[in-house]
Chain A
Amino acid sequence: MDLSPPVQFDLHRRMVRIRVFEEAAGRLAEANKLPGFLHLYVGEEAVAAGVCAALNDDDHITSTHRGHGHLVAKGGDFNRMMAELMGKSTGMCKGKGGSMHISDLSLGMLGANGIVGAGSPIAVGAAFANKYRGRGQVAVAFFGDGATNIGAFHEAANMACALHLPIVFACENNEYGEFTPRSATMAITDIVDRAAGYGMPGVIIDGMDVVAVHEATLEAVARARAGGGPSLIEAKTYRFYNHHGIQNLGLKYRPDDEVARWKERDPIFTFEDRMIENGTMTRDRVDEIWAGLRGEIDVAIKFAEDSPLPTPDQILVDVYTSMTGAAQ
């Protein structure tokens, strides 16, 4: 591992932040305290953390229905995120978006998305604006394996390459779209095969290895910033919980031993073992970090629970903006 200890600590902290947030959200959902759908990111932390740690605050990301992890990795505030999941007026989206639309424009996070594949074209737009302004910002589109079956993904990839935009396509290949295995819905095994068709470089990386994700992203981002155009990163990963919520409801669609095998490769625990082994971290320090972040989650839950619900007069607020912007 060539990464400096501060970078390793940063990667670790981002992953644990995601894990504690998601586990808390899962528990709240199981206790019927969260309305709506909840797509948890547990198991895939190395992808969001490894990618976002390679970005600046003013770089942009687009996300998916499984979006909390991306926002947390970009620096999302626990309090306002938790309040959003509870539909409170203090939430990131004032209770209007919920889990599936969680966003923070001040962090360049352009929204989780309820429409599979819809984030990629928007990332292309952000990349276009970034190139237009010429300040060296980049955009990252996160998307799942299943999302690469949607036309919007292909149009976005082609346009990004045609316009030579500063963008990274970051695929979280967790081998399933909802309850259907990838093998039933595409004839290729590796999403990265798609990159060549648009004329961009693509790499496959171990999505359970945060260092691998981070290093691949550093390279892709450097290329984008230097005017080298788009690239695609395929991270092989796995979600530990169900498509939404925690428990598998109804029919079993993933073999138990497959789930168990992936869980053995937990991206956080394996990284901790490595850091402890090479002396970057101690077990006590690891425990302290978890305890500290769990404490922050407890505060966030309390903040969210104590926050007021939005009032009905808010329904018609923010449908349109009343400001005008263009130069007169």
Chain B
Amino acid sequence: MSDVRKLTYGGAFNEAVRQAMEADENIFCAGEDIGAFGGVFGTYLGLQAKFGAHRVVDTPISEQAIVGLGIGAAVTGLRPIVDLMFMDFICVAFDQIVNQAAKLKYMFGGEATMPLTITTGGGAGLSAAAQHSQSLEAILCHIPGLKVVYPSNPYDMKGLMTACIRENNPTIMVKHKRLLGMSAHVPEENYEIPLGKANIMRAGTDVTVIAYGRMANETLVAAEKLAADGIECEVIDPRTLQPLDTDSIVESARKTHKVLVVHEAVKFGGLGAEIASQIHELAFDYLDAPVARIGAPFSPVPFSPALEQHYLPDAASIEAGIRNLVQRS
């Protein structure tokens, strides 16, 4: 019975938070509109009714203070989950995230622990324009002390969010806004997916494609089409972007000899650059071609659907990228 139970990506997030809060009364949530309203994406729905306004706190529109609230409470013994509605708003709270949360433990000679989870909605595809559509994960991954998690499906969402909450380091959980309604099997019992462990979503022999968030799903669609033409893709979703599961990625590169990295973030300086470098450093002799990358062009996210649709990678452009790479050898 329980193996047919389905939840949405947003619902899986909600269940992870609820189960964690039931088990540990040191956990509280804070953010804009998350209490009475349940969050603008509905991901906190029902939690205030269940746990009360002292554990699910509606905050002012004050991103710096929201993250600071989490930092101060975490370092003094609570286990906060704080929400920054849109990923773009991390910029408003950047000092607290980068200079404070990420560094306290180190600066204090290891004396502090920071069991803080920051949740936020990332990604484009809703005509939400340049300040509500960004994919800023690479910037976060560049900061020693932070962990960055980006699930691509409901099952992973629940397990990863559970891990984020249990984690004793500041962790940023990015929910892709366009995946919120994605529905799939999610077990009711509590489970954890360890941070830093990639998921081989599809095994294959001809080419490795590394993609996360919504792009992992687009890649799976492309892979099915290519399979009909006899091209077998190995699709790897790192799930955690920092720390990155380099071992799984390199192992696959050594097996297939060709690698493509896909993300919807801007290509320049994106995670693809880091992943490509790691593969070149650790598996150069195994490669038939340089690691290829697909990412967004070097511009802000445009508003008009006529532009945004060309701005974002999709199954078709990923398929073309894979064909291109396969032809190279």
Q: Give chain A's interface residues, CB within 8 Å of chain B.
A: 35-37, 87-88, 93, 95-98, 100-101, 113-117, 146-147, 149-152, 177-180, 184-186, 250-251, 253, 309-312, 314-316, 319
> Is B59 part of the binding interface, using a Cβ–Cβ cutoff of 8 Å?
yes
In contact, A96 and B307 (Cβ under 8 angstroms): yes
Question: A307 CB to closest chain B CB, in angstroms?
Answer: 11
Interface of chain B residues 123 through 164 with chain A (CB within 8 A): 126-132
What residues on A are CB-neighbors of B191 within 8 Å? none
Chosen A-B contacts, 23 in total, with CB atoms closer than 8 Å, are: A96-B303, A96-B304, A97-B303, A98-B303, A101-B129, A101-B130, A101-B131, A113-B131, A114-B129, A115-B88, A115-B92, A116-B61, A151-B62, A152-B92, A177-B61, A184-B35, A251-B36, A309-B304, A309-B306, A312-B306, A314-B307, A315-B310, A315-B311
Cβ-Cβ contact count across A and B, 8 Å cutoff: 133
**Is there an interface contact between A312 and B32, defined as CB atoms closer than 8 Å?**
no
A316 near B126: Cβ-Cβ < 8 Å: no
Neighbouring B residues of A93 by C-beta, 8 Å:
303
Decide yes or no whether B299 CB sits under 8 A from chain A. Answer: yes
In whole angstroms, what is the CA distance A150 to B63 when docked? 7
Q: Are B88 and A114 in contact (CB under 8 A)?
A: yes
| B297 in contact (CB, < 8 A) | yes
Q: Return chain B residues, CB-CB under 8 Å to A37.
A: 128, 132
Is residue B170 within 8 Å, beta carbon to beta carbon, of the partner chain?
Answer: no
B37 touches A180 (CB 8 A): yes
Within 8 A of A (CB), among B209-228: none
Contacts of B65 in A (CB 8 A): 151
Contacting A at CB under 8 A, from B297-314, are 297-300, 302-307, 310-311
- Interface size bucket, B side? 35 or more
Query: Does B42 interact with chain A (Cβ within 8 Å)?
Result: yes
Given contacts A180-B35, A315-B307, 6 further A-B contacts (CB under 8 A): A96-B129, A98-B127, A101-B130, A151-B62, A315-B310, A316-B297
B304 touches A87 (CB 8 A): yes
Chain A residues whose C-beta falls within 8 Å of the C-beta of B64 in the assembled complex: 151
Q: Do the beta carbons of B307 and A146 come within 8 Å of each other?
A: no
Q: In the complex, what residues of A have CB within 8 A of residue B126's CB?
A: 36
- A177, B304: Cβ atoms under 8 Å? no
Contact call A312/B310, Cβ cutoff below 8 A: yes
* Chain B neighbourhood of A319, CB < 8 A: 298-300
**Is B62 in contact with A150, judged by CB distance below 8 angstroms?**
yes
Closest residue of chain A to B311, judged by CB?
A315
Contact with A along B27-52 (1 / 0, CB 8 A): 00000110111101010000000000
| A88: nearest chain-B partner, CB-CB | B304
State A310–B307 Cα separation when bound (angstroms). 7
Are A101 and B303 touching (Cβ within 8 A)? Answer: yes
Chain A's closest residue to B300 (CB) is A319
Residue in A closest to B126 when the chains form the complex, CB atoms: A36
CB distance from A32 to the nearest CB of B (A): 12
Q: Hey, which chain A residues are within 8 Å of B33, CB to CB?
A: 178-180
The answer to whether B302 and A36 touch across the interface, beta carbons within 8 angstroms, is no
Q: Which of B36, B60, B88, B131 contacts A253 (CB 8 A)?
A: B36
Judged by a CB distance under 8 angstroms, whether B83 is at the interface is: no
When chains A and B are docked, how far (Å) is the Cα of A32 from the Cα of B300? 25
A316 contacts across to B, CB distance below 8 A: 297-299
- Bound CA–CA A117/B91 (angstroms): 13
Report yes or no: A36 in contact with B58, Cβ–Cβ below 8 A: no
B19 to chain A, nearest CB (A): 23
**Measured between C-beta atoms, what is the minimum distance from A144 to chain B in Å?**
9
Quick check: B62 and A149 within 8 Å, CB to CB? yes
B89 near A: Cβ within 8 Å? yes
Question: How far is it, in angstroms, between the C-alpha of A250 and the C-alpha of B44 when the chains are bound?
Answer: 13
Q: How far is the CB of B91 from chain A (nearest CB, A)?
A: 8
CB pair B36 A97 closer than 8 Å: no
Q: Which of A35, A149, A178 contacts B40 (CB 8 A)?
A: A178
Leading 8 A-B pairs by shortest Cβ distance: A87-B304, A114-B131, A98-B303, A35-B127, A95-B304, A149-B60, A36-B127, A309-B306
Q: Which residue of A lies closest to B130 (CB)?
A: A101
Which residues of chain B have C-beta atoms less than 8 A from A96's C-beta?
129-130, 300, 302-304, 307
Which of A37, A93, A180, A251: most chain B CB closer than 10 A?
A: A180
**Complex contact B306–A95 (CB within 8 A):** yes
Residues of B within 8 A of A149 (CB): 60-62
Q: Contacts A87-B127, A179-B33; is A185 near B299 (CB within 8 Å)?
A: no
Min C-beta distance of B120 to chain A, whole Å: 14
Cα distance A109–B38 in the bound complex, in angstroms: 35
Residues of B contacting A251 in the complex (Cβ-Cβ under 8 angstroms): 36-38
* Nearest CB of chain B from residue A282's CB, rounded to whole Å: 42
Q: Which of A87, A88, A250, A314 contacts B42 (CB 8 A)?
A: A250
Are A147 and B61 in contact, with the CB atoms below 8 A?
Answer: yes
